[in-house]
Amino acid sequence: MNYFLVELTIFCTVSLAASLEVVVDPAINATINEDVLLGCLFTHTVQLDLRYIVIEWNHRVGDDEKAVCLFDFGDYESCRSGSSLSINEISKANASLLLKNVTIHDIGSYSCTVTILSDKATGRVTLAVTGE
């Protein structure tokens, strides 16, 4: 009987273990004043529930890193004017970030970090912006 319980416990633990993967485009080129979509798709082995998802977009230039936006268990906060995430798309495993009217100040590396329950994964994309 104890053998059965141990085997059942191991099976349940393995079955409930989740896997999270984030996929982004490594580099995007844009023109000043253009709207740019920084793609960030994620896959997870459990059914998505917005109450258990955290999405963080950060912008890094050199050693300086700033928050761009945060989706935290159903609450959304934009830290950069003109940035947005689609709540409807998040429920479809799409955490892509829209940046409106990019400027040279938007040049740099962006990280998309997705956390679901105890799983966390990050993808990085580099944005280059050129003159008109």
Q: Which domain holds residue 105?
A: 19-130
**Residue 54 banded pLDDT, cuts 50, 70, 90:** very high
Give percent above pLDDT 70 in the chain: 86
Looking at the domain assignment, is residue 8 inside a domain? no
Looking at the domain assignment, is residue 53 inside a domain? yes
Looking at the domain assignment, is residue 6 inside a domain? no
117 φψ region: left (φ > 0), alpha (ψ -120 to 50), beta (else): left
Of 2 and 47, the structure prediction assigns the larger pLDDT to 47
Distance from C-alpha of 107 to C-alpha of 105, rounded to nearest angstrom: 6
Looking at the domain assignment, is residue 96 inside a domain? yes
- Residue corresponding to tokens 């761009």: 68
pLDDT at 71: 94
> Using an 8 Å Cβ cutoff, are 27 and 125 in contact?
yes
Cβ neighbours for 106, distance < 8 A, ≥ 6 positions apart: 30, 36, 59, 99, 127, 129
Looking at the domain assignment, is residue 81 inside a domain? yes
Looking at the domain assignment, is residue 111 inside a domain? yes
Q: What is the tally of structural domains in the chain? A: 1
* CATH code: domain of residue 121: 2.60.40.10
Mean pLDDT across 10-33: 75
